[in-house]
């Protein structure tokens, strides 16, 4: 599971940072899930190793332009390329009307089905491997944070041990792999746990932007492997953060600490902290690490691999 940052600036792009978008690559199913799609995201994709044809789901935090102005262009390009079978989009209310207006006035017709799901607190999507849930954040418009949970899976099945005990192959192997207790025809009782390695704990990734410090972000991020959290402002500009309902570096660190996450990655930085200014991004990193040492600063095209844990 790899996280690639396609845009890490807030509000407007800069020479080195595009506006918000994060790609989550799921190699085991050859899929990419996109989180936000600011203007220029499809250009960022062209400069990355993310395949547009693998984008299957898009999760939008809120409807501000720096998070959605690239969406229509990306969807249109996917249609012209003809290599996307379907797209599911999850977003606060209003996105479907926005896309409808865009398609109407640009006379764009998609050659593949697009379904917009209105985000509501709770579970948005679930299959045999993953679950995505969301909670409302605290911003000037309706905004949601997303939690991607990979389900636990049984450890590697010891095939040689099963053969040595003359266990007949077939459905019995499947049940043992699932950790079940099985009674054979000869009366032997076998425990699946005796034939499987340590359970592989599912990975958890949380994406929170745009928001000022709020309890729902802590709830969403509980015990996450990675928390991606906005840090638009420095702690020295805290009043500005409160006024605009954005986070400082220290607010993000406080969320990470309270939620006991393994890694915090900061993103969505104000252009005011560009090189040459009195406060720079290195200062934001220092502020955050003073509270939560396991903090990184995101930059465009940073790829972070989320490793599996054993029980």
Residues annotated as part of the active site: 66
Omega into 107 within 30° of 0, i.e. cis?
no
Distance CA 36, CA 7 (A): 9
CA angle 73, 78, 80 (to 5 degrees): 95
Is the distance from CB of 130 to CB of 57 less than 8 angstroms?
no
DSSP 8-state symbol, 196:
B
Copy the structure tokens of residue 288. 């955050």
Is the distance from CB of 229 to CB of 22 less than 8 angstroms?
no
CA distances from 3 to 32, 164, 220, 265, 269 (A): 10, 42, 18, 11, 18
CA distances from 304 to 2, 31, 140, 260 (A): 6, 16, 30, 19
Distance CA 254, CA 252 (A): 5
Distance CA 258, CA 216 (A): 11
Task: Using DSSP, state whether 3 is helix, strand or coil.
Answer: strand
Q: What is the β-pairing status of strands 309-310 and 200-201?
A: antiparallel
């Amino acid at each position: 599971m790899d996280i690639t940052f396609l845009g890490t600036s807030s509000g407007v792009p800069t020479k080195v940072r595009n506006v918000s978008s994060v790609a989550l690559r799921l190699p085991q199913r050859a899929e990419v899930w996109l989180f936000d799609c600011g203007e220029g995201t499809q250009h960022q994709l062209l400069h990355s190793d993310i395949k547009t044809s693998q984008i299957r789901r898009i999760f939008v935090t809120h409807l501000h332009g720096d998070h959605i102005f690239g969406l229509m262009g990306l969807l249109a390009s996917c249609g012209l390329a003809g290599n996307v079978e379907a797209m599911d989009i999850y977003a606060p209310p209003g996105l479907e009307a926005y896309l409808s207006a865009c398609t109407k006035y640009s006379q764009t017709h998609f050659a593949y089905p697009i379904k917009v799901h209105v985000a509501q607190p709770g579970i948005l999507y679930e299959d045999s491997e993953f679950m995505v849930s969301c909670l409302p954040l605290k911003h000037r418009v309706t905004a949601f944070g997303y939690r991607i949970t990979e389900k636990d899976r049984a450890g590697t099945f010891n095939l040689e041990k099963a053969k040595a005990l003359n266990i007949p192959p077939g459905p019995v192997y499947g049940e043992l792999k699932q950790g079940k207790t099985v009674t054979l025809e000869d009366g032997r009782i076998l425990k699946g746990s005796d034939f499987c390695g340590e359970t592989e704990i599912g990975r958890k990734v949380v994406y929170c932007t745009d928001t000022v410090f709020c309890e729902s972000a802590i709830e969403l991020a509980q015990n996450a492997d990675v928390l991606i959290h906005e840090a638009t402002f420095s702690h020295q500009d805290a009043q500005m953060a409160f006024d605009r309902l954005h986070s400082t570096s220290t607010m993000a660190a406080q969320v990470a600490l309270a939620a006991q996450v393994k890694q915090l990655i900061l993103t969505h930085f104000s252009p005011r902290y560009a090189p040459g200014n009195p406060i720079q991004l290195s200062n934001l990193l220092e502020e955050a690490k003073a509270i939560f040492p396991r903090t990184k600063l995101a930059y465009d095209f940073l790829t972070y691999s989320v490793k599996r844990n054993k029980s």
